[in-house]
A and B are shown apart, each in its own frame.
Chain A
Amino acid sequence: AQSVTQPDIHITVSEGASLELRCNYSYGATPYLFWYVQSPGQGLQLLLKYFSGDTLVQGIKGFEAEFKRSQSSFNLRKPSVHWSDAAEYFCAVGSNFGNEKLTFGTGTRLTIIP
């Protein structure tokens, strides 16, 4: 069965500092990997996705993530965070086999301090 682990429940960083959110997955085949962001009281918005090809993927809002097959990881990074990045971040794994479900991690809450 597929699973996603986000080991950090809550991370606090200073505005302007760099950020890395960790994600490890377990999946029997080539995974499709996603990062979603949920701002307070809002739905989920896709930040970026990895399907194949270049293992470093760029997303919206200046985020990027790197797929490392050997480590079963898909960590999210941003070189300089902004106060508006404070939100809940979810990593997810799925496949492109039709109608398979997307499995989410438990999320990492990001707090930004001035």
Chain B
Amino acid sequence: DTAVSQTPKYLVTQMGNDKSIKCEQNLGHDTMYWYKQDSKKFLKIMFSYNNKELIINETVPNRFSPKSPDKAHLNLHINSLELGDSAVYFCASSPGGGPRLFFGPGTRLTVL
């Protein structure tokens, strides 16, 4: 039973395209996150949602739009992809918004 799952695992696409990454957690947590890990392995939070409500929105281009249809899902849609968007995107969840995070396996996005 996968606690936090993401699809797809790999995503290769051309500049200018629009793509989505899906995330689901079956832990019953009410807070979910998107983190971006760049080529130097630096992890930075992008968004967090609590019970479908946006809580944290770091300085992220508005080409990135998270959507939470319910508290078990947090999807990330990216418009007009750019080369600099190439990274590994991690979904995570935590109980009650606390600091203990459970991470998904990551989605490696490559923009050509």
Known contacts: A43-B90, A101-B56. The answer to whether A96 contacts B99 by CB under 8 A is yes
B12 within 8 A of A: no
- Please report the number of residue pairs spanning A and B whose Cβ atoms sit closer than 8 angstroms: 59
Known contacts: A99-B48, A101-B48. The answer to whether A107 contacts B103 by CB under 8 A is no
How far, in whole Å, are A18 and B108 apart by their CA atoms in the complex?
33
B96 within 8 A of A: yes
Q: Are the CB atoms of A98 and B105 closer together than 8 Å?
A: no
How far, in whole Å, are A42 and B100 apart by their CA atoms in the complex?
18
A111 within 8 A of B: no
Residues of B within 8 A of A42 (CB): 105-106
Residues of A within 8 A of B56 (CB): 99, 101
A54 within 8 A of B: no
Known contacts: A99-B48, A99-B56, A101-B56. The answer to whether A94 contacts B42 by CB under 8 A is no
Residues of A within 8 A of B87 (CB): none
Please tell me the number of chain A residues within 8 Å of chain B, measured between CB atoms: 25
Q: Are the CB atoms of A104 and B43 closer together than 8 Å?
A: yes
B68 within 8 A of A: no
* A8: min CB distance to chain B, Å: 13
Residues of A within 8 A of B4 (CB): 43
How far, in whole Å, are A88 and B39 apart by their CA atoms in the complex?
13
Residues of A within 8 A of B96 (CB): 98
How far, in whole Å, are A104 and B101 apart by their CA atoms in the complex?
12
Residue of B nearest to A49 (CB): B100
Residues of B within 8 A of A (CB): 4, 31, 33, 40-45, 48, 50, 55-56, 58, 90, 96-106
* 27 sampled A-B residue pairs with Cβ under 8 A: A32-B99, A34-B100, A42-B106, A43-B90, A43-B103, A43-B106, A44-B43, A46-B101, A46-B102, A49-B100, A90-B43, A92-B99, A95-B99, A96-B98, A96-B99, A98-B96, A98-B97, A99-B31, A99-B48, A99-B55, A99-B97, A101-B48, A101-B58, A104-B42, A104-B43, A106-B40, A106-B41
Residues of A within 8 A of B (CB): 32, 34, 36, 38, 42-46, 49, 88, 90, 92, 94-96, 98-102, 104, 106-107, 109
